[in-house]
Structure 1
Amino acid sequence: MLSHLTLQDFAVVSRAELAFGPGMTVVSGETGAGKSLLVDALMWLTGARADAGVVRHGAERAELAAEFDLGDAPAALAWLRENELDDGDACQLRRVMRADGGSRAWINGRPATLGQLSALGGLLVEIHGQHEHQALLDRGQQLALLDAFGQHGPLLDAVREAARRWAGIDRELADLARAGDVGERLAWLEHQVQELSAETLDPESLEELAAAHRRQANAAGLLQGCEVALARLAGDEGLSLQRLLHQTQAELARLAGDEPRLAEVLALLESAGIQLAEAAAGIERLHDDFDLDPDRLRALEDRLARLHDLARKHRVPLEDLAGRRDQLQAELEGLAGAGERAARLGREREAAAREWNETAARLGQARARSAAQLGEAVAGLMGELGMGGGVFTVALEPLDTTRPTPQGAERCEFLVSANPGQPPRALRKVASGGELARISLAIEVAALGFDAVPTMVFDEVDTGIGGAVAEVVGQKLRALGGERQVLCVTHLPQVAAQGHHHYRVSKAVEADATHSQVEALSEKARVEELARMLGGVEITKEVRANARQLLARANAR
């Protein structure tokens, strides 16, 4: 439900803040005062294309903001959560339009695209009047309203599920078809997997192979280096570290009798001797392990070359060959028995198509019954709204498609003839804006309680009518206000009197500039405004009494 609307530098409105409540709110004012600016503001806030002409003359930009309570808009709240734009149970839409034609929008303080604003706006506000974007002119919306009117939810869910299942199976079959000749692919996969499986490709084995190759490639240098080290540590010829250490120990041992503190040094030298002996033994063991084996080196180089060739062939690093092998193995297993799988999927697709045909047929029968009921109800209401003899029918046309669709097997078109003797035409082609608005009102009243949009706006629904018909229009709008929030722009007192709340738009000229002001009317002010609407320039006691009677009759209902 719309709770607040703020306009700043919008057309001829310099600043206006309006609060809205449940029920029916009417907006009245003299011709040219700017009554429909509130409707225009909601249009811009719910996704209409920006127009620099809406910026008040002399201002840099126009700013609009609307706040909604989402307690009666679960679909809008779900959309906000899905798009991560939610902020509790409230929603704020804001839009700025610059004089140079630029525009920006926000949802709950976060930047939003025009598409997002339009998608959310369609779940919050529905505008009926002389505007091309009305939701009821969209054939998809018409079908949705018919399904809501007929309470086809369970049948529609079954049709959607059958279409979803058919589409999933069809995609699997398409994937198999894109694979081409399965036999050739299987043979190629088997060869590749066999070739890769012949190699040990785990990371530890690859690292061990690289280390072994390094050892064999450098075996001669390693042998020579070990021999030199052994000669320095424990060589029999010349001075070695062990021999020098032993000589040093013997010399210091002779001196230790005169200096007891040398005993600690001797202990360290003895430990060093042990370490040198162990180091020499380790080098000797390594030296014995080294083997100059050209055949072994060649075998290692051949295996490394083979692995690098495989890596280049499959266009992956050496360490990713194992993953490539597993990937090909998985594809091989997936294609194994592809012929049988394709046959099975074909049977499953046929079963899903049969299920869809059966559920879609039941849905089509239910829609046909609901279409007749909705057409009869709307046609009756059109007579009450000053279009006696008018015809309203809901035409169902089969869809020209061979694929199961989520919406069923038919599409919907609302057909209208506002005058007797004229053939029904599509609702979206009805020329008269006033007739279109009243027909929309009749549809909404007939489908009362089934339309999920919480706020409905009717702009000049009383064009071309008066007297008793105008009062009936007002009564229908008031009844609709009992189920939904209704905002109605009107110039007829019979309609205005039916509102639960009343705003008046007035125009004034100050400093050679025109300004429109919007004010909420008290009960006394409402009488004066209704009297103005009834009596024109001269307002007499009788006119005021008539205005009070209109209000009393409306409040008595």
Structure 2
Amino acid sequence: MLISLSIRNVVLIEGLDLEFGGGLGVLTGETGAGKSILLDSLGLALGARADTGLVRQGEDRASVTATFIEPRLDHPLRAVLADNGIDLEPGEPLMIRRTLRADGGSRAFVNDQPCSAGLLREIAAFLVEIHGQHDDRGLLNPRGHRALLDAFGRCETAAVASAHEAWRAAEATLNQARAEVENAARDRDFLEHAVSELAAFDPQEGEEDALATERSDMQKGARLAEELVTVGDLLLGSEGGLSQLRQAARRLDRMAAEHPLLAEALASLDRAIIEASEAEEKLAAANEALSFDPARLDAIETRLFDLRGFARKHRVDADQLGALYKEMTEKLARMEAGEEGLHQLKSDLEAKAAAYRMAAEALTAERRKAAGRLDHAVAAELEPLKLDTARFRTCVDSLDEGQWGLKGADRVEFEISTNPGAPFAPLIKIASGGELSRFILALKVALAEEGGADTMIFDEIDRGVGGAVASAIGDRLARLSVGNQVLVVTHSPQVAARGGTHMLIAKASDGIVTRTGVCELNASNRREEIARMLSGAAITDEARAQADRLLEGV
């Protein structure tokens, strides 16, 4: 709810501070007094286009501050504010401020924190509804009709939204899988050939190093073979060193008990024999490792050449050929599985699309039932507003499949026929301003219990009507104001009499400077203003008596 509005240097308003309460508040004044300036000022604070023509002549800057009560803790506006880094302290009102320079450019603030005009517009949608004859953003805009119908009929869209997300996710998965299969198919021939080659070759991890070591040893063996034979003869032959050591040890063993030094000498020989035996074993192993086999060497050379050739071909290290073979094999398997998987993904997509259609059809049925109830509710409001020959209908039509979305597959638009036999047409195409205003009011009353902004503003919605119709308008505005804040700019005394508060907008001039001011009327002044609205410039006793009757009838 709007608490206060402070305006500085906007057109004819030099400085103005207004306070507002709940219920129905009316604003009256003579034509040209500046009622539109008041609404333009509020619009500026709510993110409207910054027109430098609003800056009062001779001033370099204009500013408007609108203060609203603190939104309740579960209000969706709090999430918008939090997403934009704006936090409200408990008990703190919401203050929106906009400044406009005469040379162009504007700045916006929410609770003294800078923000964009776009954020102001987003915030304003939660705070204020402005209805007038030329308002193409509110009830006249077909883009909002579906949401209004859903709110009126309590039509739940969550199931449709969930089904739509699942459908589109399945579609994206299928498209991605299809692209992968198509891309992979171009590589299939190469993969099959490469896998076949690697399978036949069977590369092993560490094979390159093992083959290179074996080849090196064999080449060394070819050089060392003659020397190894000589060493073997010296150490291992019947007359070799090891044989001589063993014979000496056997002879000494028979004498070792004769003297301690002989025993020590025998122990030394035993150690020498052990060391020599180890040398014998190592010579045998070396002979085997360094043995030269021309056929084996040729096989090693060939294997190494092929191994390194495969590595160069696939641009990997030789040790990675085995892993590459496994990877290529798995990729081929995925291709085959992917082609099979496409059928499963297609089936899944078809199931998800069918689920969405089913949910959307159920939502459409709900909307059509709600449309019938809304049409009946609006029709009940038309006769008192002297629109008894008019007809209202809510059209629920199917969208093309490409336009289906999270909110279903329907296009919703409010249409009217103003005269018997006349075709239905969109609300926005009604020619008569008075009829349009009354249709907006009838629709708003029918939708009143379905939520919306806490503050509703009606700009001269009673223009062109009077008498009983004006009274009916006043009655419906009063009904709308129960539990809400309704502000109405009016020329109708019947409407003005229904207000809980009454503000007079007046223009004054000292011959040099013209200013617009606003004051709240007490009971006596209110009677005079309503009498003026009834009789014109010359207020008569009869007009005052009629004003009394209007005020007493409220």
The alignment's TM-score, normalised by the length of structure 2, stands at 0.71
2:97 maps to 94
Stretches of structure 1 lacking an aligned partner (at least 5 in a row): 201-298, 313-326
The percentage of aligned residue pairs carrying the same residue is 38
Amino acid at match of 2:484: R
1:144 maps to 147
Say yes or no: does 1:77 pair with 2:78.
Answer: yes
SS at match of 1:412: strand
Amino acid at match of 2:96: L
1:131 maps to 134
The whole-number CA distance in structure 1 between the counterparts of 2:126 and 2:329 is 50
User: 5 Å matches for 1:269-308?
Assistant: none
The whole-number CA distance in structure 1 between the counterparts of 2:537 and 2:333 is 89
SS at match of 2:507: strand
Say yes or no: does 1:24 pair with 2:20.
Answer: no
2:216 maps to none
User: 5 Å matches for 1:464-479?
Assistant: 464-479=464-479
1:284 maps to none
The whole-number CA distance in structure 2 between the counterparts of 1:161 and 1:533 is 56
How much does 1:31 deviate? 0.8
Cα distance change, pair 336–513 in 1 and its aligned pair in 2 (3 A) = farther
How much does 1:27 deviate? 0.6
How much does 1:415 deviate? 0.7
2:158 maps to 157
Amino acid at match of 2:27: V
Say yes or no: does 1:43 pair with 2:46.
Answer: no
How much does 1:403 deviate? 6.6
1:120 maps to 123
User: 5 Å matches for 1:8-23?
Assistant: 8-23=8-23
Q: How many residues align?
A: 434
Amino acid at match of 2:383: G
Cα distance change, pair 448–175 in 1 and its aligned pair in 2 (3 A) = same
The whole-number CA distance in structure 1 between the counterparts of 2:436 and 2:60 is 36
Stretches of structure 2 lacking an aligned partner (at least 5 in a row): 206-303, 318-326
1:418 maps to 418
SS at match of 1:96: strand
Amino acid at match of 2:183: D
Say yes or no: does 1:68 pair with 2:68.
Answer: yes
2:281 maps to none
Cα distance change, pair 532–403 in 1 and its aligned pair in 2 (3 A) = closer
User: 5 Å matches for 1:119-518?
Assistant: 119-153=122-156, 156-179=157-180, 180-184=182-186, 337-402=337-402, 404-518=404-518
How much does 1:175 deviate? 2.1
Cα distance change, pair 419–518 in 1 and its aligned pair in 2 (3 A) = farther
The whole-number CA distance in structure 2 between the counterparts of 1:115 and 1:332 is 53
SS at match of 1:372: helix
Structure with max Cα Rg: 2
The whole-number CA distance in structure 2 between the counterparts of 1:553 and 1:331 is 86
Cα distance change, pair 57–173 in 1 and its aligned pair in 2 (3 A) = same
How much does 1:310 deviate? 6.6
1:324 maps to none
RMSD between aligned residues = 3.3
Residues 258-304 of structure 1 deviation map (CA, whole Å, 9 limit, x = unaligned): xxxxxxxxxxxxxxxxxxxxxxxxxxxxxxxxxxxxxxxxx9xxx9x
How much does 1:354 deviate? 1.3
SS at match of 2:449: coil
Amino acid at match of 1:521: L
SS at match of 2:401: coil
How much does 1:516 deviate? 0.3
2:255 maps to none
Cα distance change, pair 406–460 in 1 and its aligned pair in 2 (3 A) = same
The whole-number CA distance in structure 2 between the counterparts of 1:458 and 1:415 is 21
Amino acid at match of 1:67: T
CA contact (8 A) 2:174 2:349 kept: no
CA contact (8 A) 2:185 2:335 kept: no
How much does 1:436 deviate? 2.3
How much does 1:332 deviate? 9.8
2:527 maps to 527
Cα distance change, pair 337–65 in 1 and its aligned pair in 2 (3 A) = farther
SS at match of 1:15: strand
SS at match of 1:62: strand
Residues 458-489 of structure 1 deviation map (CA, whole Å, 9 limit, x = unaligned): 00011110011101101100100014221110
SS at match of 1:36: helix
The whole-number CA distance in structure 1 between the counterparts of 2:403 and 2:538 is 68
Cα distance change, pair 528–311 in 1 and its aligned pair in 2 (3 A) = farther
CA contact (8 A) 1:9 1:55 kept: yes
How much does 1:189 deviate? 9.3
Cα distance change, pair 395–24 in 1 and its aligned pair in 2 (3 A) = same
Residues 43-77 of structure 1 deviation map (CA, whole Å, 9 limit, x = unaligned): 22223222111111111122111112243681322
